[in-house]
A = this chain, B = another copy of it.
Amino acid sequence: MKQGDGVDGTVGKAFDVLDQVAVAGRPVRFAELLEGSAYPKATLYRLLQTLTRQGMLALDPDLGTYAPGMRLVRLAHVAWAQSSLAPLARPMLDRLAVQTGETVHLAQLDQGQVLYVDKRHAARPVEMFSSAGKVGPAYCTGVGKAMLAHLPDAALEDALARQSFHRFTATTLDTPQALKAELRAIRANGHAYDREEHEAGIICIAAPILSQAGRVLGAVSVTTTTAHSDLAGLDRWAAPIKQTAAAIATAAEGWQFPQP
């Protein structure tokens, strides 16, 4: 297992198990979880029972499989609505989506990964994986690289340490060295490209959302397919996307959660 092993007592273990179920990507049986688990049979059993009773897991009574439960959806709604980026970025994303006519993403950096927190669909629906709550690699996506490029050194090293580089396509930058060179370039001209680095046929341009003080708050991207455009074509969105990012940054900056 990668993290959190044994720390934070019983509660930590419970979340470990929850993650394990989520990470499976499909409903899983007890036995299957057991052989991926750090915990002994009885312990795992009791944890699953508790999580299920609490609504954090859903147990399919027929198949005996566990999946993340709907209570998480309730809680996530509140998390999203109270976060300091996604809710107030909505109008700006709307505008950018209309302006570009392409798919637009808003993402944050979370645990060294890209966490997509909002998206707008193009009129012309692009077939790809994405929506709020989805996570992706940081080192080979436009939003990911845009954010990494503006991280302080220590934070960058920490983020890099969490990556396990995988060569998704021929253009994937799969070494820290190659990535760091790219990050310098991104930092220099203020926006990042995804040159089919994560998925063949999918390209994008992305800009970081930076606070006044230079802290990375998130990133915005405009995505398209190679069938429909190319990198040079995406360049015409460089200015609008930066403007959008700036507008979101401004809105996020002095923002306070509205009182009732």
Does B124 contact A128, Cβ atoms closer than 8 Å? no
Does B8 contact A10, Cβ atoms closer than 8 Å? no
Q: Considering the complex, which residues of chain A in the window 175-227 have a beta carbon less than 8 Å from any beta carbon of chain B?
A: none
Contact of A73 with B by CB under 8 A: yes
Chain A interface residue bracket vs B:
35 or more
Known: A15-B54, A18-B75, A70-B79. 8 other contacts (CB 8 A): A7-B53, A8-B54, A26-B259, A55-B111, A68-B82, A75-B76, A80-B130, A120-B125
Q: Chain A residues in contact with chain B, CB under 8 A?
A: 4, 7-12, 14-15, 18-19, 22, 25-27, 47, 50-51, 53-56, 58, 67-83, 86-87, 90, 94, 108, 110-111, 115, 117-121, 124-135, 257-260
Does B11 contact A50, Cβ atoms closer than 8 Å? yes
Q: Which residue of B lies closest to A56 (CB)?
A: B15
Q: Which of B26, B70, B82, B129 contacts A77 (CB 8 A)?
A: B129
CA distance A27 to B90 in the complex (A): 20
Nearest 8 CB-CB pairings of A with B: A77-B133, A76-B76, A68-B79, A128-B132, A80-B129, A22-B78, A72-B76, A73-B133
Residues on B with C-beta less than 8 A from A77 are 76, 129, 131-135
CA distance A133 to B8 in the complex (A): 28
CA distance A126 to B54 in the complex (A): 30
Residues on B with C-beta less than 8 A from A51 are 11
Q: Which residue of B lies closest to A83 (CB)?
A: B70
Tell whether A50 pairs with B12 under 8 Å between CB atoms, given A70-B108, A75-B18, A82-B27: yes
Q: Which of B18, B71, B128 contacts A118 (CB 8 A)?
A: B128
Residues on B with C-beta less than 8 A from A258 are 26
CA distance A196 to B79 in the complex (A): 29
CA distance A130 to B94 in the complex (A): 14
The residue among A8, A81, A120 with the most chain B CB atoms within 10 A of its own CB is: A81
Q: Which residue of B lies closest to A116 (CB)?
A: B77
Tell whether A75 pairs with B22 under 8 Å between CB atoms, given A80-B130, A128-B131, A130-B90: yes
Tell whether A11 pairs with B10 under 8 Å between CB atoms, given A27-B257, A133-B73: yes
